[in-house]
Amino acid sequence: MSAVTPDAGFELLEHTADLGIRAWGTTAPEAFGQAARALVEVMGIRVDAPGRRRVVKASAQDPAGVLVAFLNELIWFHETESVGFAAIDVIALSDSGLVAEVEAAPLPEAAVGIGVKAATYHQVRVERRPGVGVEVHVFLDV
């Protein structure tokens, strides 16, 4: 996982029933990767141990849907295989699909983060800002 810089990063947003993520990057793949890193931090499933590299794919009808589908794939992967993530790299992204490479490893102990049921379409958005980069907003059902 990478450090937060002015050009890329994430922050958690408060909401009455859910938890929001605002993530940004100089490119859309970077912003989507930051959103995934925020999800991993929220869930307490970041691992430092080396793991197995795996490909994760997501598709939808628009970029916002791709973001939701991607985060839900990571949640599903974690829940079905009881793994945490050491790295998440978005390697291809279009308006209707995403391919990411993740490094997944068994969790050394039970996750100590917040249980996330799903990423939602509530107020989800992907905003391209010329000359600045890309910012995404997504809310998680917790």
Judge whether 4 lies within some domain. no
CA distances from 3 to 7, 35, 98, 133 (A): 11, 13, 23, 17
Angle at 120 between CA 119 and CA 124, to 5 degrees: 110
Instruction: Give percent of the chain with pLDDT exceeding 70.
Output: 94
What does pLDDT average to over the chain? 92
Name the pLDDT band for 2 (thresholds 50, 70, 90): very low
Judge whether 130 lies within some domain. yes
Does the pLDDT at position 31 exceed 80?
yes
Structure tokens at 79: 């829940």
Judge whether 13 lies within some domain. no
Judge whether 70 lies within some domain. yes
The one-letter code for the residue type at 54 is R
- For the chain, the domain total comes to 1
Judge whether 5 lies within some domain. no
Does the pLDDT at position 129 exceed 70?
yes
Judge whether 121 lies within some domain. yes
Does the pLDDT at position 109 exceed 90?
no
CATH number at residue 136: 3.55.10.10
Domain hosting 68: range is: 26-141
Alpha helices in the chain (DSSP H): 28-43, 63-81
Judge whether 32 lies within some domain. yes
Please state, in angstroms and rounded to a whole number, the distance separating the CA atoms of residues 13 and 85: 22
Average pLDDT for residues 18-29, to the nearest whole number? Answer: 94
pLDDT of residue 16: 65
Residue ranges of E strands in the chain = 9-14, 18-25, 52-59, 83-93, 97-106, 118-119, 125-129, 133-141
pTM score of the predicted model: 0.88
Judge whether 46 lies within some domain. yes
Torsion angle, alpha carbons of 24, 28, 30, 31, to 10: 30
Question: In this structure, how many other beta carbons lie within 10 angstroms of the beta carbon of residue 78?
Answer: 20
Query: What are the tens digits of pLDDT across the range 57-88?
Result: 999 999 999 999 999 999 999 999 999 999 99
